[in-house]
């Protein structure tokens, strides 16, 4: 997304519905506790661990509630919040200081400038943001176009929190490769019902969604969980850091690369491959067991 200077246009009352996303499956606001603001640079801060990030967003949301809804006051708030969040791993990836906690119980992330956000009374203040109101309203991340409808549905319906959801749903190559390997193991196309209708499968997918958080083989120094979500190849992921004297790529090379993996010993690589193989195998067995128990129609 092209960078723009702060646009101090006058806010307007919003009367235009947001457009339909590419691919037809909406990924941004899912339910009361699951949403995504990865394209807003949510995780591109000095410390994107869950606790510090929640604390920052909570404090920011409380502070913004006291800001007069005037262009100058909102701009001043944004500049201060931008300074306090610190510098993230991607210097050219803007972190929007107007991302906060939304909803009645503040259980998910979203835009504090949105006309439906608390205190805005239907007025759209997104024109005061870094990218401007048009970009905020019309832009959809690559996940909408790159992921299949089945994968998008499985991920959004399996997620239980905004934190893990935003981290993984923007990892299009990681998700595509994992579910491709799963379909190869099944020997047939996957359906959303294969997973969503069986609690056993949902639990395994929950582990997949936490791979970025729980993965023990991230390269050091650890850049943090943030993912650069755009398609301009500005921040390509490095090749897998294989153990010394390794002569062949792992069959899971793409997955390992997307997880920013690095290994000191062959034993570490073997364990990483086993973790991925077990996730795929256990999920495939659960799906096949569910298919075999379905009543014939």
Supply 286's token pair: 């659960």
Asked whether residue 2 is assigned to any structural domain, the reply reads no
- Residue 267 pLDDT exceeds 60: yes
| Section 13-21 average pLDDT | 58
- Residue 242 pLDDT exceeds 60: yes
- Residue 207 pLDDT exceeds 70: yes
Tens digits of per-residue pLDDT, 84-133?
998 999 999 999 999 999 998 999 999 999 999 999 999 999 999 988 88
Q: Both 101 and 182 in a single domain? A: no
The per-residue pLDDT for 16 is: 44
| Section 20-40 average pLDDT | 93
| Section 246-273 average pLDDT | 97
Q: Both 287 and 239 in a single domain? A: yes
Q: Is residue 270 very low, low, confident or very high in pLDDT (cuts 50, 70, 90)? A: very high
The answer to whether 256 and 240 are in contact (CB under 8 A) is yes
Select from 97, 121, 140 the last residue of a domain: 140
Q: Is residue 136 very low, low, confident or very high in pLDDT (cuts 50, 70, 90)? A: confident
Q: Is residue 18 very low, low, confident or very high in pLDDT (cuts 50, 70, 90)? A: low
Gap between the Cα atoms of 170 and 287, Å rounded: 25
Domain boundaries, position 231:
146-292
Asked whether residue 3 is assigned to any structural domain, the reply reads no
Q: Both 128 and 54 in a single domain? A: yes
Q: For CA atoms 126, 131, 22, 191, give the dihedral sign.
A: negative
The per-residue pLDDT for 133 is: 82
The per-residue pLDDT for 17 is: 53
Q: Give the percent of the chain with pLDDT over 70.
A: 93
List helix spans (H) across the chain.
50-65, 71-84, 133-138, 142-146, 149-158, 162-169, 172-186, 192-196, 199-209, 211-214, 253-258, 266-292
Domain count, the chain: 2
Q: Both 227 and 279 in a single domain? A: yes
Q: Both 191 and 243 in a single domain? A: yes
The answer to whether 133 and 124 are in contact (CB under 8 A) is yes
Coil, helix or strand at residue 102: strand
Mean pLDDT of the chain: 91
Asked whether residue 1 is assigned to any structural domain, the reply reads no
List the single range of 197-206, 217-226, 269-278 with lowest mean pLDDT.
217-226
Asked whether residue 4 is assigned to any structural domain, the reply reads no
Longest Cα separation, the chain: 65
The per-residue pLDDT for 294 is: 64
Q: Both 112 and 44 in a single domain? A: yes
| Section 185-213 average pLDDT | 96
Q: Both 196 and 280 in a single domain? A: yes
Between vectors from CA 222 to CA 241 and to CA 4, what angle results, nearest 5°? 110
Asked whether residue 157 is assigned to any structural domain, the reply reads yes
- Residue 297 pLDDT exceeds 80: no
Q: Is residue 224 very low, low, confident or very high in pLDDT (cuts 50, 70, 90)? A: confident
Tens digits of per-residue pLDDT, 167-180?
999 999 999 999 99
The per-residue pLDDT for 22 is: 86
The per-residue pLDDT for 210 is: 95
Q: Is residue 32 very low, low, confident or very high in pLDDT (cuts 50, 70, 90)? A: very high
Q: Both 83 and 43 in a single domain? A: yes
The per-residue pLDDT for 282 is: 98
């Amino acid at each position: 997304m092209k960078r723009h200077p702060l646009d101090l246009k006058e806010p307007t009352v919003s009367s235009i519905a947001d457009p339909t996303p590419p691919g037809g499956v909406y990924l941004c606001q899912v339910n009361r506790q699951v949403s995504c603001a990865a394209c807003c640079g949510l995780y591109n801060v000095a410390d994107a661990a869950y606790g510090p990030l929640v604390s920052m967003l909570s404090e920011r949301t409380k502070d913004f509630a006291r800001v007069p809804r005037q262009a100058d006051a909102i701009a001043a708030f944004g500049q201060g919040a931008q300074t306090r969040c610190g510098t993230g791993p991607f210097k050219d990836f803007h972190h929007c200081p107007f991302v906060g906690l939304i909803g009645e119980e503040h259980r998910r992330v979203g835009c504090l400038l949105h006309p439906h956000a608390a205190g805005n009374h239907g007025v759209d203040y997104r024109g005061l943001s870094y990218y401007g109101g048009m970009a905020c309203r019309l832009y959809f991340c690559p996940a909408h176009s790159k992921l299949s409808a089945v994968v998008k549905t499985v991920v959004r319906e399996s997620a239980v929190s905004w934190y893990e959801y935003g981290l993984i749903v923007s990892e299009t190559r990681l998700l595509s490769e994992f579910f491709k390997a799963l379909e190869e193991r099944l020997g047939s196309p996957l359906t959303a019902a294969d997973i969503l209708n069986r609690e056993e499968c949902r639990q395994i997918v929950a582990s997949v969604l936490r791979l970025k958080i729980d993965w023990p083989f991230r390269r050091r120094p650890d850049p943090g969980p943030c993912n650069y979500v755009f398609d301009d190849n500005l921040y390509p992921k490095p090749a897998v850091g294989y153990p010394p004297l390794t002569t062949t790529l792992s069959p899971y090379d793409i997955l390992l690369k997307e997880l920013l993996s690095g290994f000191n010993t062959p034993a570490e690589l073997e364990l990483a491959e086993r973790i991925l193989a077990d996730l795929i195998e256990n999920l495939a067995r659960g799906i096949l067991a569910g298919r075999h128990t379905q009543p014939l129609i």
